[in-house]
Amino acid sequence: MTSQPLLKRLLTDPRVSKDPRRHWPAWINGEISPEWPLYTWVAVTNMFTAYGSDHKRLRSLVAKAFTARRTAALRPRIEAMTTDLLDGLAATAPGERVDLREGYAYPIPIQVICELFGVEDEPTREGLRRCVDSVFHTSADPEEVTATYAELYRILGGIVAAKREKPGDDMTSVLISARDDEADTPLSEQELVDTLLLMIGAGHETTVNLLDNAIHALLTHPEQLALVRAGRAGWNDVIEETLRVQAPVANLPLRYAVDDIALDGGITLRKGDAIIASYAAAGRDPGLYGDDGGRFDVMRATKEHLSFGHGVHFCLGAPLARLEASIALPALFERFPDMALAVDADRCGQVDSFISNGHRALPVVLHP
């Protein structure tokens, strides 16, 4: 499906659910085992897989983490992180290669989301990162899938236990309070842990790919970078065009038809059918962008995309991701105006996932 209007329609149709326990026959009948590479995406019990009133209840608890005020308050911390990383990168020798995905695109989002949720120690952060990378590795073998699932819940359980013993000014402590104290918005222990998984995992992976893809796009389209430097386009144009042409999450499983849904062209989604939302395809919809939907163009008048979703499941962290990119991108290109890719544009590779859309590495020379 490449039609953006059609995807929007399905994302807001009340006959489309994200709850496999109620609306996916394959799950209900026990046909989906923990060895399936997408098992974690379906098995979690949080607002990602919630439907109707359950989704509204869970989203209301998490929404307080991503208010405009709380997001704006993170700006000084993001600026400080960015400066520290750039200072470290500046020490590289002329001609030396640096992987900006590993050394720049990754550290900022993971530090921000971990600080927001009170994950302080480096071993725990690194363990979470490894597990989240594996969750997005959709070609993983059964052994990796089951091992990741167990390790992920061991780490998350440890975070919850530590915050119960010593609460802090963080969202994990807020969620624990909701679980333990708020009778009007009950949160089960499984929902608590799975909400942490959703917010920490999704909260950094999408931003990593946004930064990665934006840097790659500007370095491979110098004429577009020149427009930004000349003031003819802004960094928000870069961010939105990157989100459109290279959605950080290419495809997102799963939604389910609650009833038969008639589509154009005589196509019908049957009750119980599983649906994958293809945000990457929708961003390049020929019906909206003609034949050049795959072209990166910061001057494009319409940059409409669905990279943060649409409807009731629209990503709560979208303003935070945009804020991080609006700080990190101009700072990088201002510090290293002569930066260049160290390999051919098509040699960066793609992450081994049909969900996550980013490069395996982003090797550059900061000081040619």
Report which of 47, 43, 23 is spatially closest to residue 32, judged by C-alpha positions.
43
Helix (H) or strand (E) segment spanning residue 204: helix 189-220
Lookup: tokens for 160? 């919850």
Q: What pLDDT score was predicted for residue 185?
A: 58
Distance of alpha carbon 299 from alpha carbon 347, whole angstroms: 27
Q: What pLDDT score was predicted for residue 120?
A: 86
Q: Strand order of the sheet with strand 340-341?
A: 97-99, 363-365, 340-341
Tens-digit pLDDT string for the chain (368 aa): 578 999 999 999 999 999 999 999 999 999 999 989 899 899 999 999 999 999 998 898 888 777 888 888 899 999 999 999 999 999 999 999 999 999 999 999 999 999 888 998 899 999 988 998 888 988 889 899 889 989 999 999 999 999 999 999 888 888 888 777 655 657 788 998 999 889 888 888 899 999 999 999 999 999 999 999 999 999 999 999 999 999 999 999 999 999 999 998 889 999 999 999 999 999 999 999 999 999 999 999 999 999 999 999 999 999 999 999 999 999 999 999 999 999 998 899 999 999 999 999 999 999 98
Q: What pLDDT score was predicted for residue 181?
A: 66
Lookup: tokens for 229? 């430097």
Strand duo 268-269 + 261-262: pairing: antiparallel
What CATH class is the domain 4-365?
mainly alpha
Alpha helices in 50-167 (DSSP H): 53-63, 68-73, 75-89, 100, 107-116, 122-135, 142-165
**Cβ(336)–Cβ(246) under 8 Å?**
no
Q: What pLDDT score was predicted for residue 64?
A: 73
Report which of 178, 143, 133, 41 is spatially closest to residue 356, judged by C-alpha positions.
133
Q: What pLDDT score was predicted for residue 67?
A: 80
Prior bond to 254 cis, omega within 30?
Answer: yes
| DSSP-based three-state secondary structure for 247 | coil
Q: Which residue has the tokens 């599983």?
A: 274
Helix (H) or strand (E) segment spanning residue 209: helix 189-220
Report which of 140, 147, 172, 178 is spatially closest to residue 159, judged by C-alpha positions.
172
**Cβ(255)–Cβ(42) under 8 Å?**
no
Q: Which residue has the tokens 């995807």?
A: 7
User: Under the phi-then-psi rule, with left for phi > 0, alpha for psi from -120 to 50, and beta for the rest, what region is 265?
Assistant: left
pTM of the model: 0.94
Helix 235-245 to helix 318-335 angle (10° resolution) is 120
Distance of alpha carbon 365 from alpha carbon 94, whole angstroms: 8
Signed CA dihedral, 98, 102, 107, 109: sign only: positive
Q: What pLDDT score was predicted for residue 342?
A: 95
Query: Where exactly are the structural domains of the chain?
Result: 4-365
Lookup: tokens for 59? 């989203």
Q: What pLDDT score was predicted for residue 183?
A: 56
Which 8-state DSSP code applies to residue 101? I
Distance of alpha carbon 47 from alpha carbon 11, whole angstroms: 15
Which 8-state DSSP code applies to residue 44? -
Lookup: tokens for 297? 């163009």
User: Under the phi-then-psi rule, with left for phi > 0, alpha for psi from -120 to 50, and beta for the rest, what region is 3?
Assistant: beta
